[in-house]
Amino acid sequence: MANPGKTLYLECKTGISGDMFVASLLDLGADKEKLEKALSTIPVKGFSVKVSRTEKNGLDCCDFDVILEDEYENHDHDMDYLYGGLNEAQSANGHDSRHQHHHDHGDGHHHHHEPVDENQHQHEHGDGQHHHHGHRNLSDVLDIIAKTDISDRARDTACNIFRILADAEAKAHGTTAEKVHFHEVGAIDSIVDIISAAVCLDNLGIENVIIPALSEGSGQVRAAHGVLSVPVPAVSNVIADSGIPLRITELNGERITPTGVAIAAAIRTSSKLPQGFIIKKIGMGAGKRAYSVPSIVRAMLIEAEEKALSTDMVTDERHIWKLESNLDDCSGETLGYLMDRLFENGARDVFYTPIFMKKNRPAVLLSVICMESERTALEDIIFKESTTIGIRRMQMERSVLERRIVKADTKYGPISLKEVKLPDGTMRHYPEYSDATAVAQKYGVPLRNVMEEAQFKASEL
C-alpha cells in the first residue's frame, strides 16, 4: 500500500484534460504495468494505450494516448457530426479534426451531445456484447466501470467523475442525468481516460488534492448547433457546481475539457496551498495540440513545511485574529458548508456556539481563528456563504508550545505524531489522525489500538 496522507498539488495554468492528468500522474510515478493490467479488464474492445515521452517548448513531458481501432473510432467519435466543421484553434493550426482523432481528444474534446434514440446505432459483436456506437447513457458507463477489475476506491472515483459529467450535460440540455446520451465523454477513450485517472490516483496513495484554480483559454468553438463560447456549457456547469476558481486567459482555444474539469471537481479537496511546502516530486503531463503556449498539467507531491522540517521545533506567530458573527437565519447545511470552505482556505479553527438573540431567536455564534494573511479572504467567504451583514474582528496574542512532527515505527508501519515540548522540557505525543485512521482501516483494528501503539512507540524516541 502507498504511504497514507500524500498531498497532490495540481497546477493547471494552461488547462486540463483527462489524458493530460493521467500523463502527469504516470510521470509522477504511478505504476504503468498496474494501470495496463487494470485497463485490460475493461469490458469494451477496440482500444490500446501508449505511454511515451514528448517535448513541449523544450520541456520533457509524459504523453498518454488512447488509440482506437478504426471501427470504434468511426462510430464513437464522429467529429464532423459533433462539431459540424473545425473549431477555431484547429483551423488556425491547419488541423483537420476528421483525420486527427486520437491526437486531438486530449485538449480539444468534443463537448456537444445531441439527444438520440438509444435503440439506434447498435451492433452485436462476437462476444455477445451490444455497443452503442457513440451513444451511451450514464447507467451504461457505470456498468462498464463496475465490471472493470479495479479497487473500490478507484471505482468510486471513476463513477463520481462520470456522475459529475452527466449532471453538467443534463443542465446544459435541460434534461436529467439519467437521460443524457454521451457522445464524447461516453466514448471509449474518455472511459479509459477516467478509469486511468482513478487507478493512478489510487496507486499513488493520494489523499489530498490542492487545485488553487483552473485556467481556460479564450475564443469560440464550433458545435453541431452553431458556435459556442469558451468555456463551453458542460465545463461552465461543472465549475459553477464545484466552486473551483476559474481564470480566463488570453491563450488561444479551449484549454479545459469536460473530462478534465470533471476529474478536477471529483478529486479536489482544497484550493489553499500551505504557507510553506516542500516539493517531493514533479510530474508533467502533455496535451496534444500544437498551441504556441503548450497545454501542460504539472502535478507535484508536496509536504507542508511543518511536516517536512520534522527535525526542528517550530512555533506559530504569537498574534492571531478572531472573526465573529451572530447568525440566526442560516440552515445547518449552510453552516456545515461554510465551515468546510473556511478550513479549505486557511482558517486555523472554526466553531459554532449556541446563543439566543433578540426576540429569543435561537442562533449560533460563528468564531474563526486565522492569521493576518488569511483574514481578508476568510471574511469574503463568510459574507458570500452566510447571511451575515457584519463581522466583528479582534487581534489576539497567544502562547504556543514548540512542536514538531516525528515518525514512530509501529507494528502497523510508520505513523506520524505531533511532538509537543512543555515549558518544563517534557514531551507529549499526539498521533496524526489521518495516519492512524488509514492504518486502522487497512488492518481492520480499532482506532484506539493504533493510537495507543503509536504513543507507546513514541515514548521510545
pLDDT in tens, the chain (461 residues): 334 458 999 999 999 999 999 999 999 999 999 999 999 999 988 899 999 999 998 899 999 999 987 655 533 332 222 323 333 333 333 333 333 333 334 444 433 333 333 333 333 333 434 444 446 789 999 999 999 999 999 999 999 999 999 999 899 889 888 888 765 444 788 899 999 999 999 999 998 899 999 999 999 887 766 788 999 999 999 999 998 999 999 888 899 999 999 999 999 988 888 877 889 999 999 998 778 888 999 999 998 765 444 445 555 567 899 999 999 999 999 999 999 999 988 899 999 999 999 888 999 999 999 988 889 999 999 999 999 999 999 999 888 888 888 888 888 888 889 889 898 888 889 998 888 998 898 889 999 999 999 988 887 77
387 in the same domain as 428: no
How far apart are the C-alpha atoms of 241 and 120, rounded to whole Å? 32
Residue 40 lies in a domain: yes
Query: What residues form DSSP beta bridges with 221?
Result: 228
If asked whether residues 241 and 325 sit together in one domain, one would say: no
Structural domain contains residue 308: no
258 and 237 in a common domain: yes
CA-based nearest residue to 5, from 246, 303, 242 = 303
Q: Is residue 230 a contact partner of residue 218, using CB atoms and an 8 Å limit?
A: yes
The reported pLDDT for the residue numbered 272 is 84
Q: What is the 3-state secondary structure (H, E, C) of 20-49?
A: HHHHHHHHHCCCHHHHHHHHCCCCCCCEEE
The reply to whether 313 falls in a domain is: no
Q: Could you tell me if 338 and 245 lie in one domain?
A: no
Task: Return d(Cα 154, Cα 27) in angstroms, integer.
Answer: 19
Number of structural domains (the chain) is 3
152 bridge partner residues: none
Are residues 28 and 154 in contact, defined by beta-carbon separation less than 8 angstroms?
A: no
Q: What is the dihedral of CA 46, 190, 187, 240, to 10 degrees?
A: 180
347 and 209 together in one domain: no
List the CATH number of the domain containing 349.
3.30.70.1380
Q: Are residues 298 and 436 in the same domain?
A: no
The reply to whether 311 falls in a domain is: no
* Type of residue at 211: I
Of 352, 376, 397, the last residue of a domain is: 397
> Is 414 inside a domain boundary?
yes
> Are residues 350 and 325 in contact, defined by beta-carbon separation less than 8 angstroms?
no
Residue 147 lies in a domain: yes
Is residue 124 situated within a structural domain? yes
| Dihedral sign (CA 35, 37, 38, 43) | positive
From 397, 421, 442, give the residue that closes a domain. Answer: 397
Distance of CA 388 to the CA centre of its chain: 30
**138 and 66 within one domain:** yes
Q: Who contacts 74 (Cβ-Cβ below 8 Å, separation ≥6)?
A: none
Considering the domain boundaries, does residue 38 fall inside one?
A: yes
Residues 268 and 207 in one domain: yes
Looking at the structure, do residues 37 and 23 belong to the same domain, yes or no? yes
Domain shared by 221 and 323, yes or no: no
Of 348, 408, 402, the closest CA to residue 378 belongs to 348
Residues 429 and 284 in one domain: no
Long-range contacts from 425-433, C-beta under 8 angstroms, 24+ separation: 429/454, 429/455, 429/458, 429/459, 431/455, 431/458, 432/5, 432/405
- The three cell numbers of residue 155 are 471505482
91 CB-near residues (< 8 Å, 6+ apart): none
Residue that terminates a domain, selected from 303, 331, 365? 303
pTM: 0.60
Q: Where are the beta strands (DSSP E) in 287-341?
A: 296-304, 319-327
Task: Say if CB 147 and CB 213 are below 8 A apart.
Answer: no
Please indicate, yes or no, whether residues 143 and 230 belong to a single structural domain of this protein: yes
For residue 338, the enclosing domain spans 319-397
